């Protein structure tokens, strides 16, 4: 028969943006990020595990490198029946949308990255990009990228947030402000009244609307994904040769303790993995090799550690305020 009109052609192309296409791109991204990180590390190599459990995945872990103490770059693709538990507690779907929940199945694919460096002057980074669809036709993209410095460097913070802002601005002028605020609220540890780090962007439930298509949204996801390696590598190269003391390493371990608290208590991806009986070693790859807890540890007044604590706040305008302005306001 052949294609007889532009509209038919367009519809065919839109249909090609299937879950398979999206998953394939996540795999390509996993390859390229792992290559870039191995190159910057020089010594460490990613191991590779394929697994099958309610879906399948490819877990890549690098341990004991020159730069990286422990990091994971994971691809996964899982599916199953949607339980009330998952729908309400994990996906936070409104109750009205799940009246016929017994008939719903889901498919989720994505890439998840957490990197814990050796040097406390190099920040921890996290990125997650995901695509979710249900058999009732609804679908969405979600994701985020956030930076957790053990010591906040305000120049690095401005660089990181400006990279994210530039990427967002190419797609929608309202994205950065909205997704930055979302990250402030998501990457927050209520019981400590601290943000996890300096935030970044976070978004969920991005779907087609009057102003955007699935292709537009996928292009945005790709923009964020492609930003990861160059942005993190800039921060690594700038800080990797800085000296540090055992006292500073202890502080790094304490901050990693907070990271563990966030991931085990609040992180939605971890919850989703545990609730769906996921591949446990892949889910918990986000945990550092070494973390520490000391009772009621309070940094010395005016120390860099205390300054970092004072900056673990929501609503700091990292991208456009000067370091001087930020310090005057918060410390």
Min dist CB 292 to its own copies, Å, is 5
Size of the residue set binding its own copies (CB under 8 A): 30
Candidates 145, 285, 312, 319; binder of its own copies (CB under 8 A) is 285
Smallest gap from residue 266 Cβ to its own copies (A): 10
Choice from 56, 63, 172, 248 touching its own copies (CB under 8 A): 63
Residue with the two structure tokens 């010591």: 151
> Is residue 294 at the binding interface for its own copies, with CB under 8 A as the rule?
yes
Of the candidate residues 20, 35, 49, 328, the single one contacting its own copies (CB under 8 A): 49
Of 10 and 192, which CB lies nearer to its own copies in the complex structure?
Answer: 192
d(CA 50, CA 59): 6
38 scored as a contact of its own copies (CB under 8 A): no
Beta bridge partners of 188: 195
Coil vs helix vs strand at 55: strand
The CB-of-170 to its own copies minimum distance in angstroms stands at 36
Q: Three-class SS of residue 321? A: coil
Q: How far is the CB of 281 from its own copies (least distance, A)?
A: 4
C-alpha to C-alpha distances, 12 to 1, 4, 5, 53, 231, nearest whole angstrom: 14, 12, 11, 32, 35
Contact, 136 vs 232, CB < 8 A? no
289 is an interface residue for its own copies by CB under 8 A: yes
Residue by residue, DSSP assigns 127-158 as EEEEEEEETTS-EEEEEEEEEE-SS--HHHHH
Binding mask 249-268 for its own copies (x = CB under 8 A): ----x---x--xx--xx---
Return the biggest CA–CA distance within the chain: 77
Residue closer to its own copies by CB (options 73, 104) is 73
Q: Which stretch binds its own copies (CB under 8 A): 136-144, 212-220, 222-230, 293-301?
A: 293-301
Range in contact with its own copies (rule: CB under 8 A) among 4-12, 14-22, 283-291, 310-318: 283-291
Residue with tokens 């398979």: 20
The set of catalytic residues is 126
Distance CA 10, CA 37 (A): 38
Q: What are phi and psi of 272, to 5 degrees?
A: -60, -45
Backbone angles phi, psi at 165, to 5 degrees: -65, -45
**Distance of closest approach, residue 128 Cβ to its own copies, in angstroms:** 18
Bridge partners of 79, per DSSP, are 107
Question: Using the 8-state DSSP alphabet, how is residue 174 labeled?
Answer: T
The stretch near its own copies (CB under 8 A) out of 98-106, 163-171, 291-299, 322-330 is: 291-299
**Residue closer to its own copies (CB basis): 72 or 199:** 72
Degrees (nearest 5) of the Cα angle 318, 323, 329?
85
Which residues within the stretch 66-85 sit at the binding site for its own copies (CB under 8 A)?
A: 70, 72
In the complex, what is the shortest distance from the CB of residue 287 to its own copies, in angstroms, rounded to a whole number? 4
Secondary element (H or E) of residue 69: strand 68-81
Look at residues 171, 163, 296 and name the one whose alpha carbon lies nearest to residue 232: 163
- The one segment of 1-9, 136-144, 212-220, 289-297 that binds its own copies by CB under 8 A: 289-297
Interacting residues with its own copies (CB under 8 A): 47, 49, 61, 63, 70, 72, 191-192, 253, 257, 260-261, 264-265, 274, 280-281, 283-285, 287-296
């Amino acid at each position: 028969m052949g294609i007889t009109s532009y509209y038919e052609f367009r519809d065919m192309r839109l249909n090609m943006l299937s879950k398979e296409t999206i998953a394939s791109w996540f795999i390509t991204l996993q390859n390229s990020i792992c290559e870039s990180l191995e190159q910057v590390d020089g010594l460490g190599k990613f191991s590779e595990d394929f697994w099958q459990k309610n879906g399948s995945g490819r877990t890549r872990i690098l341990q004991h490198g020159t730069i990286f103490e422990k990091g994971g770059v994971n691809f996964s693709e899982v599916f199953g029946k949607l339980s009330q538990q998952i729908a309400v507690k994990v996906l936070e779907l409104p109750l009205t949308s799940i009246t016929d929940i017994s008939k719903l199945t889901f498919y989720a694919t994505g890439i998840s990255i957490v990197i814990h460096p050796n040097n406390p002057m190099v920040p921890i980074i996290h990125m997650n990009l995901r695509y979710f669809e249900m058999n009732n036709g609804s679908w969405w993209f979600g994701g985020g990228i956030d930076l957790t410095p053990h010591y906040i460097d305000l120049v690095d913070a401005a660089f990181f947030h400006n990279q994210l802002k530039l990427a967002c601005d190419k797609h929608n002028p309202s994205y950065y402000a909205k997704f930055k605020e979302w990250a402030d609220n998501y990457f927050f540890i209520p019981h400590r009244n601290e943000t996890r780090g300096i935030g970044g962007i976070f978004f969920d439930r991005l779907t087609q609307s009057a102003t955007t298509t699935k292709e537009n949204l996928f292009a945005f996801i790709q923009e964020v994904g492609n930003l990861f390696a160059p942005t993190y590598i800039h921060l690594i190269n700038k800080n990797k040769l800085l000296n540090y003391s055992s006292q500073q390493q202890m502080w790094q371990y304490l901050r990693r303790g907070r990271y563990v608290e966030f991931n085990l208590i609040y992180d939605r991806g971890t919850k989703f993995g545990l609730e769906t009986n996921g591949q446990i070693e892949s889910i918990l790859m986000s945990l550092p090799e070494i973390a520490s807890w000391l009772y009621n540890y309070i940094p010395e007044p005016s120390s860099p550690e205390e300054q970092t604590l004072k900056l673990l706040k929501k609503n700091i305008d990292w991208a456009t305020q000067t370091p001087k302005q930020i310090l005057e306001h918060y410390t």
